Amino acid sequence: MSLADELLELAAATAREAGRMLVDKRPADGPDVVQTKSSPTDVVTQMDRAAEQLIIERIRAARPDDGFLGEESGGRAGSSGVRWVVDPIDGTVNYLYDLPDWAVSIAAEVDGEAVAGAIEIPRRGESYTAVRGGGALQHTASGTRRLRINAHVPLGKALVSTGFGYEAGRRARQAEVLTGVLPNVRDIRRGGSCCVDLCSLAAGRADAYYERGVHAWDIAAGGLIVQEAGGRVEGLHGAAPGPELAIAAGPGTFEALHALLAPLDPARD
Ligand code: IPD
């Protein structure tokens, strides 16, 4: 078994276990908000922390020398060349309101490049996995299927998903950009979880995704899944996606969305 396959096995089993715990242990009257981060709307619940703790324990027990970057606990250097990039609940606000689109996202990087990614979406009964060079898969109760992204969709016929940050200034600029995008596309979706949006894109349930200001833990596993389904995941003018703009789509659609966004959303923050 290759290193990437081994890492995927651990990522998928851990994401599944954390997802099950998050469903089983979610308090009936909703989780408590225990902290706010970049703004009062940027919340952390006790369940985000519990899930990240479980994931850290499982990964540390199996691979004690690996590095780690988690949304809730930050970074820890390792000595093996492998780093885990984890969002214990991507879509925390959906989880808070008991909306189904939230996910556990776990990626493994080797020398800085994501080589394996697993995303568990428990309330949809879906898991997504990818190994670099090995394609992207969707797993459900009815079986496993290989994913192929929609390609060459003209923007006017493209269903485009996006997301918003939590700080007021960034949100105001994102609303301005949205005003420029909306008249040019079939429609917009704001699902509330970056990695669920990326899985939906890889599965052909949307044609493109963009967002300014996503973090490594939001996009590490989902970005690999989109690429392995045949898509492109980049920032403006070939930059790495991340703190600036992230654009994800199939060939043809990617270039058209990039051309629309570049003048609307030059790097401004
Ligand atoms: C958020 C979600 C959301 C995106 C935000 C992210 P969180 O992650 O992915 O869709 O628009 O930018 O911060 O806070 O729920 O882990």
107 and 25 part of one domain: yes
Single residue among 146, 168, 201 that ends a domain in this structure: 146
Q: Is the CB of 126 under 6 A from ligand 1?
A: no
Please state which of the ranges 24-38, 43-57, 78-92 shows the lowest mean pLDDT. 24-38
Ligand 1 nearest atom to the CA of residue 165, by list position: 12
**HEC profile for 54-65?**
HHHHHHHHHCCC
Angstrom distance (rounded) from CA 162 to CA 189 = 6
Q: Is the pLDDT of residue 267 over 70?
A: no
Q: Is the CB of 94 under 6 A from ligand 1?
A: no
Catalytic residue check, 92:
yes
Q: Is the pLDDT of residue 112 over 60?
A: yes
164 and 242 part of one domain: yes
Catalytic residue check, 149:
no
Q: Is the pLDDT of residue 268 over 60?
A: no
How far CA 43 is from CA of 28, 31, 49, 58, in Å, comes to: 19, 11, 11, 25
Single residue among 115, 146, 177 that ends a domain in this structure: 146
Specify the pLDDT at position 269.
44
What's the whole-number mean pLDDT along residues 63-77? Answer: 94
Q: Is the pLDDT of residue 67 over 70?
A: yes
Specify the pLDDT at position 59.
97
Ligand 1 nearest atom to the CA of residue 218, by list position: 9
Residue 244 domain flag: yes
Catalytic residue check, 140:
no
193 and 217 part of one domain: yes
Selecting among 55, 89, 106, 247, the annotated active-site residue is: 89
Q: Is the CB of 101 under 6 A from ligand 1?
A: no
Specify the pLDDT at position 73.
87
Give how many domains the chain has, as a whole number.
2
Residue 269 domain flag: no
81 and 211 part of one domain: no
For the stretch 156-178, pLDDT in tens is: 999 999 999 999 998 999 999 99
Cα-Cα-Cα-Cα dihedral sign, residues 128, 131, 137, 142: negative
Please state which of the ranges 46-55, 69-78, 125-134 shows the lowest mean pLDDT. 69-78
Residue 253 domain flag: yes
133 and 221 part of one domain: no
Q: Which of 254, 259, 262 is nearest to 152 (CA)?
A: 254
Q: What is the band of 34 on the pLDDT scale with cuts at 50, 70, 90?
A: confident
Q: Is the CB of 90 under 6 A from ligand 1?
A: yes
Q: Is the pLDDT of residue 247 over 80?
A: yes
How far CA 50 is from CA of 26, 44, 118, 134, in Å, comes to: 11, 11, 19, 32
Q: How far does the centroid of ligand 1 lie from the alpha carbon of residue 15, in Å? A: 18
Please state which of the ranges 120-124, 130-134, 216-220, 239-243 shows the lowest mean pLDDT. 239-243
Q: Name the percent of the chain lying above pLDDT 70.
A: 99
Residue 99 domain flag: yes
Q: Is the pLDDT of residue 33 over 80?
A: yes
Q: How far does the centroid of ligand 1 lie from the alpha carbon of residue 268, in Å? A: 20
Single residue among 127, 146, 165 that ends a domain in this structure: 146
Q: Which of 35, 41, 38 is nearest to 97 (CA)?
A: 41
81: domain CATH number? Answer: 3.30.540.10
In this prediction the pTM is 0.96
166 and 258 part of one domain: yes
Catalytic residue check, 90:
yes
195: domain CATH number? Answer: 3.40.190.80
174 and 257 part of one domain: yes
Residue 205 domain flag: yes
Instruction: Name the binding residues.
Output: 71, 87, 89-90, 218
Q: How far does the centroid of ligand 1 lie from the alpha carbon of residue 211, in Å? A: 10
Specify the pLDDT at position 10.
98
Ligand 1 nearest atom to the CA of residue 217, by list position: 16
Catalytic residue check, 187:
no
Q: How far does the centroid of ligand 1 lie from the alpha carbon of residue 198, in Å? A: 12
9 and 130 part of one domain: yes
49 and 168 part of one domain: no
Ligand 1 nearest atom to the CA of residue 190, by list position: 10
Angstrom distance (rounded) from CA 247 to CA 232 = 8
Catalytic residue check, 87:
yes
Residue 251 domain flag: yes
> Which residue range(s) make up the domain with 252?
155-264
Specify the pLDDT at position 43.
82
25 and 100 part of one domain: yes
65 and 160 part of one domain: no
138 and 219 part of one domain: no
Instruction: Name the binding residues for Mg(2+).
Output: 71, 87, 89-90, 218
